[in-house]
Structure 1
Amino acid sequence: MVPLKRRKVVSSGAGSPGGPGDTGSTGSTGGPGGGEERTRFPQVVLFLLERKMGSSRRAFLSQLGRKKGFQVEELLSERVTHVICENNCGDEVRTWLRLQGGGRTSAQLLDVSWFTDSMRAGRPVDILDGHKLQEQQIDDAEGGVFSVPSYACLRRTTLENHNPVLTDALSLLAENAELSDEDGRGVAFRRAAAVLKALPEPVTGAAQLRGLPCLGGHSLRVITDILENGASREVEFTKQSERFKALKVLTGIFGVGAKTAERWIRDGIHNLHQLQESGQALNRAQQAGLDHYDDLQQPVTRAEADAIGEVVEEAVVSVLPGAQITLIGGFRRGKLTGHDVDFLITHPEEGREVGLMPKVVTWLESQGFLLYQKTTRNSYLEAKAGPARPPSNMDRFERCFSIFKLADAEKRGRKRAGNAPEDTCCPAAHSRVADEGPEPVKPAGGPGRWRAVRVDLVVSPVSQFAFALLGWTGSKLFERELRRWAGRERAMSLSSHALYDSKQSRYLRATSEEEIFSHLGLEYIPPSERNA
Structure 2
Amino acid sequence: MAPKRKPARGAAAEERDPDGMFRGVSAFIVPQGVQGRRLEVWKQRLVQMGGRVVEKLDKGSAAAGVNHVLAMDAKALLRVLDAAWLHRFRGSVVSFEWLEECLKSGERLPERKFTINHEEEFKLKKAAGNGGSGASQPAKRSKISLRILGISREQVTRIGRSIQMQMRIKVQEASSGGPSIYAPADLNRNITKIFGRLIDIYRALGDDRRSFSYYKAIPVIEKLPFKIESAEQVKDLPTIGKSLKDHINEIVTTGKLSKLEHFENDEKSTLLQSVKPLPISTQFSFKVRTISLFGEVWGVGPATALKLYEKGHRTLDDLRKDESLTNAQRIGLKYFDDIRQRIPRHEVSEMEKFLQDVGKDILPGVIIVCGGSYRRGKASCGDMDIVITHPDGESHVGFLPKFVQRLKEINFLREDLIFSIHSVDGTDSGVDTYFGLCAYPGRELRHRIDLKVYPRNRYACGLLAWTGNDVLNRRLRLLADSKGYVLDDTGLYLATRGSGGKHAGRSDAIVNCHTEKDVFDTLGFPWLEPHERNL
2:392 maps to 1:349? yes
2:454 maps to 1:469? no
Report the equivalent of 1:249.
293
- The Cα shift of 1:214 comes to 5.8
Report the equivalent of 2:446.
452
1:427-446 to 2 correspondences below 5 Å = none
2:438 maps to 1:404? yes
Task: Tell me which of 494, 497, 513 is aligned to 1:510.
Answer: 513
Task: Tell me which of 364, 386, 410 is aligned to 2:407.
Answer: 364
Cα pair 1:157 1:529 within 8 Å, conserved: no
Report the equivalent of 1:293.
336
The separation in 2 between residues aligned to 1:360 and 1:157, in whole angstroms, is 41
The separation in 2 between residues aligned to 1:236 and 1:146, in whole angstroms, is 29
Report the equivalent of 2:244.
219
Report the equivalent of 2:492.
499
Report the equivalent of 1:520.
523
- The Cα shift of 1:305 comes to 2.1
Matched residue SS, 1:254: coil
Tell me the amino acid that sits aligned with residue 179 of structure 1. Answer: A
Cα pair 1:157 1:530 within 8 Å, conserved: no
Quick check: 367-376 or 300-309, which moved more? 300-309
Tell me the amino acid that sits aligned with residue 378 of structure 1. Answer: H
Runs of 5+ unmatched residues, structure 1 = 1-91, 96-134, 149-153, 386-394, 408-425, 427-448
Cα pair 1:145 1:208 within 8 Å, conserved: no
- The Cα shift of 1:352 comes to 0.5
Task: Tell me which of 256, 263, 279 is aligned to 1:238.
Answer: 263
Report the equivalent of 1:179.
204
Report the equivalent of 1:264.
308
Matched residue SS, 2:440: strand
- The Cα shift of 1:333 comes to 2.9
2:377 maps to 1:328? no
The separation in 2 between residues aligned to 1:247 and 1:320, in whole angstroms, is 44
After superposition, the Cα gap between the structure-2 partners of 1:508 and 1:196, relative to the gap in structure 1 and judged at 3 Å, is: closer
The separation in 2 between residues aligned to 1:493 and 1:162, in whole angstroms, is 27
- The Cα shift of 1:464 comes to 1.6
Cα pair 2:345 2:374 within 8 Å, conserved: yes
Runs of 5+ unmatched residues, structure 2 = 1-148, 171-180, 266-284, 497-506
After superposition, the Cα gap between the structure-2 partners of 1:480 and 1:262, relative to the gap in structure 1 and judged at 3 Å, is: same
**Residue deviations 1:348-386, cap 9 Å, x none?**
11211111111111111111122212311126988x87x
Cα pair 1:471 1:496 within 8 Å, conserved: yes
**Residue deviations 1:271-314, cap 9 Å, x none?**
202212x3423222111111110111223332232232123222
Cα pair 1:143 1:207 within 8 Å, conserved: no
**Residue deviations 1:94-121, cap 9 Å, x none?**
x9xxxxxxxxxxxxxxxxxxxxxxxxxx
1 or 2 for the larger relative contact order (CA 8 Å, sep ≥6)?
Answer: 1
Tell me the amino acid that sits aligned with residue 304 of structure 2. Answer: T
Report the equivalent of 1:83.
none
Cα pair 2:191 2:251 within 8 Å, conserved: yes
Identity of aligned residues (%): 26
- The Cα shift of 1:514 comes to 1.9
CA RMSD, Structure 1 to Structure 2 (Å):
3.7
- The Cα shift of 1:143 comes to 5.9
Tell me the amino acid that sits aligned with residue 484 of structure 1. Answer: L
The separation in 2 between residues aligned to 1:498 and 1:163, in whole angstroms, is 30
Tell me the amino acid that sits aligned with residue 336 of structure 1. Answer: A
The separation in 1 between residues aligned to 2:226 and 2:192, in whole angstroms, is 13
Report the equivalent of 2:350.
307
After superposition, the Cα gap between the structure-2 partners of 1:280 and 1:469, relative to the gap in structure 1 and judged at 3 Å, is: same
The separation in 2 between residues aligned to 1:520 and 1:308, in whole angstroms, is 34
Q: TM-score by structure 1 length? A: 0.56
Quick check: 252-261 or 503-512, which moved more? 503-512
Tell me the amino acid that sits aligned with residue 264 of structure 2. Answer: K
